[in-house]
């Protein structure tokens, strides 16, 4: 298991939610496929929304990964990385998807790098560790020292009403 940048973990969870939301309950595969096809078409023409999650959504079903270990290493840094290396570690199957892959490599390489890694993490959840961001985990080491006593006014509060400036 490997740690990934928290933003990649977040984007991967968001992608999962987006896919489930588009599929619906019960799953409507035709609607899902129409949405994916529309996004792929937009990105293939050099347009499309410049959003990591939307781009990852367009890519996720078309990507094939040739270097999973390399992609995991790239997932450690969200902001900075070598887009050309990431592009070399994956490819898109299908004619329209391949055009999209080439177009995003030209027009938005850094965003595409993030989207490719996000899609990879979504498709391979057992290869990486997600930090537990639940309230239970976040409060585990909280000893309560930041909680002020409710019965007394803090200095900041009292000075708000001090007109003399004492």
Q: What is the mean pLDDT of the chain?
A: 84
Q: What is the pLDDT of residue 165?
A: 61
Per-residue model confidence as pLDDT tens digits over 116-127: 999 999 998 877
111 has pLDDT over 60? yes
pLDDT band at residue 92, thresholds of 50, 70 and 90?
very high
Token representation of residue 162: 């001090």
> Do 72 and 2 contact (CB within 8 A), yes or no?
yes
Q: Which of 13-27, 37-51, 132-146 shows the lowest per-residue confidence on average (mean pLDDT)?
A: 132-146
Cβ neighbours of residue 22 under 8 Å, at least 6 residues apart?
A: 31, 32, 35, 57
Token representation of residue 1: 């298991």
pTM above 0.85, yes or no: no
């Amino acid at each position: 298991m490997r740690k990934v940048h928290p933003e990649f973990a977040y984007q991967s969870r968001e992608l999962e939610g987006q896919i489930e939301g588009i599929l619906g309950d019960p799953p409507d595969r035709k609607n899902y496929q129409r949405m994916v096809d529309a996004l792929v078409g937009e990105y293939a023409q050099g347009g499309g929304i410049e959003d990591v999650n939307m781009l990852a959504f367009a890519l996720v079903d078309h990507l094939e990964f040739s270097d999973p270990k390399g992609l995991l290493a790239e997932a450690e840094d969200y902001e900075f990385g070598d887009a050309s290396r990431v592009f070399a570690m994956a490819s898109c199957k299908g004619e329209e998807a391949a055009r999209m892959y080439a177009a995003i490599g030209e027009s938005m390489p850094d965003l595409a790098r993030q989207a490719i890694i996000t899609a990879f993490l979504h498709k391979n959840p057992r290869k990486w560790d997600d930090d537990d961001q639940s309230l239970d985990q976040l409060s585990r080491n909280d000893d309560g020292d930041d909680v002020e006593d409710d019965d007394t006014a803090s200095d900041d509060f009292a000075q708000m009403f001090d007109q003399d400036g004492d």
